Every structure is written in structure tokens, then in C-alpha cells.
């Protein structure tokens, strides 16, 4: 038997961090490439939407199940399987001859990411003693922030310097090397054998897919079209069936008892709206900067930095401040600031109004301050929303509660893109710069509204989180902090 203590914790952290970064980066790296993908494969704005949402939906649906399978079958085994699945799907994305093939490959990519994300963090933290796990969480949180900032920039650079296919090809050698080294160097752990709520997975996934599809169809055919209404009704029915299932399941995927706590439900509602606003705004703004204004992919990534890079600076300070004053003030204020910043961008888009700040970017200068305001706002919300949710549950429920928060955040992103795109399609299209601007302004206003709704919901969050509750890094899945048992390779 080979014990985990024989492995180098630093090496374990490096290997899992590389894979975690690759998967986190892929959630946003494709956004900057969407106009190039549109020119290559064709399709409507709804087609572009599915290339993002197919990844997010399968990612969300698989998080809790992948973590539970890792506990049963072996965390390294499931982690490597997810890494290989993600790598193969990346190659399939690069080779996709049609938009439909790309969407299908992106869905498979999301399944791989659902295994890599929770298990990379679990394996990394398990390699260190409890006294050092807070530092490990901090490193993972910094990596997540770097992926958010670097996604649009890396995507733009690769598309402009090479071709959009390379945003996927680059994953293949990295994924293969990481998988081989992980098999050789990572310890194998099994956690407590939790029961799986397998019937709940297709119900919640089916509900999310049909509701998202219904919103997309509303943008294409109108809200009263038969197909739109059928999809939306089917989504509601599946969602109701999922709620009934969770109330009766012995080991529910999203435990209803947790939602009996108003602060926990409010924190999750705020997390859902937060991610809905972020993903909708990112999806829309990339299209506007490239197709509406005419910036290239690399220039677009650079111009998003006042928004996307801000969390790397502000989020650690916000997390420290939350320990002193509580999560609610920061969460409410952060979502309000994001709403204000996005609303300001929507107001000045397509006009010469607003304050100019030069920076050598001509008319772009008027966007800098509102993007910074939105960035500061989301930097305050990201590190506090998970803490707000986990601070309302007992220590024994930390792992499952974290899975709930992150699952709902992923679904929130898909919902936000879907509803904002429906509004975009009702007012504009991708055919000309003027039509892109016409659709962008009301759609981004909706993204700002989602953030505003999130701030109102966040008012019901508890004043302070419990000091005893360990808080995982943002946008990751944590399993219960138990001492894992090493097993033979």
C-alpha cells in the first residue's frame, strides 16, 4: 500500500492547480472567440449561446455526482477520468465541422470539468495538514481569479494570433501530460460512501435544458410561439418533479432542509443572480466590442481587463473585510455596484456620451470607469456569497452546501445568458454594427437588473457568518473536511 504522506504536497498542488486552471479558463476563454466561431460555422446568436450554455449546464449537473463518485470509486480515478474526458472533448471541439457538433462537444467538455473542478480541490487540500488548508484554498481562489481575468484575454490572443480552433487544441497536450503525471504522482483517496441521488440528475438537468432552450426559442420565435410555450411548460414540470423527488429522496442532490433556512436560501438566490449577471454581461459585451464597435479579439480581451482583472486585487481585501463586518454588507453593496456599472455601460453604449479618459483608446475611454465600478462590485460579491451560504449551515453540511451553491451558480450563468439573449434577439441581431448595438443596450440593462435583484435578495442573508465554518474558494466545490483514508494504487 502506498500512502499519501509519501507524495510531495507541493507536487500534488501544482498538478491539480494546472488542471483546475485549464478547466476554469475554458468557461470564459471561448467567449472572446464567439464572433470568429460565428463567421466560421454560421448560426444565430442562439447558436453562439448554446456553445457557452451547453458547457455550463452539464458542468452544473455533474458537480455533486462527480464528487460523490470520487468518494466511492476513488478521487484520483474520477479526477483522471474527468481530465481525459475534458481533453478528448477539447479535441472534438477543435475538429467540429458544424455548430451542432461544437455544442455537443462542449457539453461533453462540461461533464469532464464537473469531475476535475471539485476533485482537484479535494485532492489538493487532502495532501496538506488541516492547519495549511486555508492557504491552499487561497491559492485555488487566486487561480480562479486569474482564470476569470485571463479567459477573454487568452481567447482573444489565440484567436487573433492563430485561429479559434486553437483555444481547444491547446488543452490537448496539457490535459494528456497532466493525466499521465496525475496517475503516477497523485495519491488515491476514498471518502465516505455517500448515497447517490441518480434520478435527481436527469430531472434537474432536463429542467435546466428545457427552460434554457425555451428562453432561446423565445428570442427566435417569440414568447407566444407554440414551441416556446411547450419548452417552458415542460421545464417547469420537470423542475416541479425534481422538487418532489428531492423531498422524498434519502440522499437528495439539493437537500430541501437546507433551504428551510432563509439566510441560506437568500445566499443561494444571490449567487444565482450574481452569476446570471456576470455571464450574461460577458457574453454580450464581447459581441458588442467586436461586432458593434469593431475591436479585434485581442483588443477586446484587453479592454475587458478593468472589469475582469479587478477581482484579483479587490477580492482578497473583501474577504478579509467580511471576517470583520460580516458578509451581508459586502454582498449587497457589491451586487449594487455591479448593477450600477453594467447599467452605466448600457446607457452609454452606441453613443458619444459619458466621460472620456483617453488611455489612447479613443471612444473606449468612456467605458473604463463603469467597467471598474462593475469589477469592484463583483470583486466584493464573489468571495462573500459562498461564505454567506456556508455560514448558515452546520459543519457536517459544509460539503453538500458548497455543492448546492456552486451548482446553482452554474445554472444561474446559463439562465442569465439565455434571458439576456432573448432580449437581445427581440431588439437586434448580428447582421450589422447598428443592430448589434440595438440589441446590446436593453440586454445589458437586463443583466444589470439581475444583479440588482440579487442585491435585494441578499438583504435576507445573515449578518455574520459563523467563525467555525470553513469557507472554500469561490466557484469551486468542497467536500466535507474529513481525514481521508489512503488506498493502494
List, as one string, the DSSP characters of 404-438.
HHHHHHHHHHHHHHHHHHHHHHHH--SSSHHHHHH
- Please give the helix or strand (H or E) that residue 190 lies within, else none: strand 189-190
Q: How far is CA 273 from CA 196, 267, 483, in A?
A: 28, 10, 35
pLDDT value of residue 336:
94
Q: How many CA atoms lie within 13 A of 341 on its CB side?
A: 27
Question: Which is more confidently placed, 359 or 439?
Answer: 439
Are 374 and 345 in contact by the 8 Å Cβ rule? The answer is: yes
Nearest C-alpha neighbor of 89 from the set 51, 145, 32, 63: 51
Query: 216-228: per-residue pLDDT in tens?
Result: 677 666 677 888 8
Are 71 and 192 in contact by the 8 Å Cβ rule? The answer is: yes
- The neighbouring-strand residues paired with 189 are 486
Question: Which is more confidently placed, 73 or 420?
Answer: 420
Q: Does 55 have pLDDT greater than 70?
A: yes
pLDDT value of residue 447:
93
DSSP code of residue 461: S
pLDDT value of residue 339:
94
Nearest C-alpha neighbor of 371 from the set 319, 303, 286, 439: 303
pLDDT value of residue 409:
80
131 pLDDT band, cuts 50/70/90, is low
Query: 180-191: per-residue pLDDT in tens?
Result: 888 887 777 666
Query: 154-183: per-residue pLDDT in tens?
Result: 777 777 778 788 888 888 888 888 888 888
Q: CA 131, 195, 401: angle at the middle one, nearest 5?
A: 45
Q: Does 403 have pLDDT greater than 60?
A: yes
Query: 57-105: per-residue pLDDT in tens?
Result: 788 777 777 777 777 777 788 888 988 999 999 999 889 888 888 888 8
Mean pLDDT for all residues in the chain:
76
Backbone angles phi, psi at 463, to 5 degrees: -65, -40
pLDDT value of residue 469:
42
Query: 231-268: per-residue pLDDT in tens?
Result: 889 888 988 888 888 778 777 767 777 777 888 888 88
Grid coordinates representing 67 are: 464528487
Amino acid at each position: 500500500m502506498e500512502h499519501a504522506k509519501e507524495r510531495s504536497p507541493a507536487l500534488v498542488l501544482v498538478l491539480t492547480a494546472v488542471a483546475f486552471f485549464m478547466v476554469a479558463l475554458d468557461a470564459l476563454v471561448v467567449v472572446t472567440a464567439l464572433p470568429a466561431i460565428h463567421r466560421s460555422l454560421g448560426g444565430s446568436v442562439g447558436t453562439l449561446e448554446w456553445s457557452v450554455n451547453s458547457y455550463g449546464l452539464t458542468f452544473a449537473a455533474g458537480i455533486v455526482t462527480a464528487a460523490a463518485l470520487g468518494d466511492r470509486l476513488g478521487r484520483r480515478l474520477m479526477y483522471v477520468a474527468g481530465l481525459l474526458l475534458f481533453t478528448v472533448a477539447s479535441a472534438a471541439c477543435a475538429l467540429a465541422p458544424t455548430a451542432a457538433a461544437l455544442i455537443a462537444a462542449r457539453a461533453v467538455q462540461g461533464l469532464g470539468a464537473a469531475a476535475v473542478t471539485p476533485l482537484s480541490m479535494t485532492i489538493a487540500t487532502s495532501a496538506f495538514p488541516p492547519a495549511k488548508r486555508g492557504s491552499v484554498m487561497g491559492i485555488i481562489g487566486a487561480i480562479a481569479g486569474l482564470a476569470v481575468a485571463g479567459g477573454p484575454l487568452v481567447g482573444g490572443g489565440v484567436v487573433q494570433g492563430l485561429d479559434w480552433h486553437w483555444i481547444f487544441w491547446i488543452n490537448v497536450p496539457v490535459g494528456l501530460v497532466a493525466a499521465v503525471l496525475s496517475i503516477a504522482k497523485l495519491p488515491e483517496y476514498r471518502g465516505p460512501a455517500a448515497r447517490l441521488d441518480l434520478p435527481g440528475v436527469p430531472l434537474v438537468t432536463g429542467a435546466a435544458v428545457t427552460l434554457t432552450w425555451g428562453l432561446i426559442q423565445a428570442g427566435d420565435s417569440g414568447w407566444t410561439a407554440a414551441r416556446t410555450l411547450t419548452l417552458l411548460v415542460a421545464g417547469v414540470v420537470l423542475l416541479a418533479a425534481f422538487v418532489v423527488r428531492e423531498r422524498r429522496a434519502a440522499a437528495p442532490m439539493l437537500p430541501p432542509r437546507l433551504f428551510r433556512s432563509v439566510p441560506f436560501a437568500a445566499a443561494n438566490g444571490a449567487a444565482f443572480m450574481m452569476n446570471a449577471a456576470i455571464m450574461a454581461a460577458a457574453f454580450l459585451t464581447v459581441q458588442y466590442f467586436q461586432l458593434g464597435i469593431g475591436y479585434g479579439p485581442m483588443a477586446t480581451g484587453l479592454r475587458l481587463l478593468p472589469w475582469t482583472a479587478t477581482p484579483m486585487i479587490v477580492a482578497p481585501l473583501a474577504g478579509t473585510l467580511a471576517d470583520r463586518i460580516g458578509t451581508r454588507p459586502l454582498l449587497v453593496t457589491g451586487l449594487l455596484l455591479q448593477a450600477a456599472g453594467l447599467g452605466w455601460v448600457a446607457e452609454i453604449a452606441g453613443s458619444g456620451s459619458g466621460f472620456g479618459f483617453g488611455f489612447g483608446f479613443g471612444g473606449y475611454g468612456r467605458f473604463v470607469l463603469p467597467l471598474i465600478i462593475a469589477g469592484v462590485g463583483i470583486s466584493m460579491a464573489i468571495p462573500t456569497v459562498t461564505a454567506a451560504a456556508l455560514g448558515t449551515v452546520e459543519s457536517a453540511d459544509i460539503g453538500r452546501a458548497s455543492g448546492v451553491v456552486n451548482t446553482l451558480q452554474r445554472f444561474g450563468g446559463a439562465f442569465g445568458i439565455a434571458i439576456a439573449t432573448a432580449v437581445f434577439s427581440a431588439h437586434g441581431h448580428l447582421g450589422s454594427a447598428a443592430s448589434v448595438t440595438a440589441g446590446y443596450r436593453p440586454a445589458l440593462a437586463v443583466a444589470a437588473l439581475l444583479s440588482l435583484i440579487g442585491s435585494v435578495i441578499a438583504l435576507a442573508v445573515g449578518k455574520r457568518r459563523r467563525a467555525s465554518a470553513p469557507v472554500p474558494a469561490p466557484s469551486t466545490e468542497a467536500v466535507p473536511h474529513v481525514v481521508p483514508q489512503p488506498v493502494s494504487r
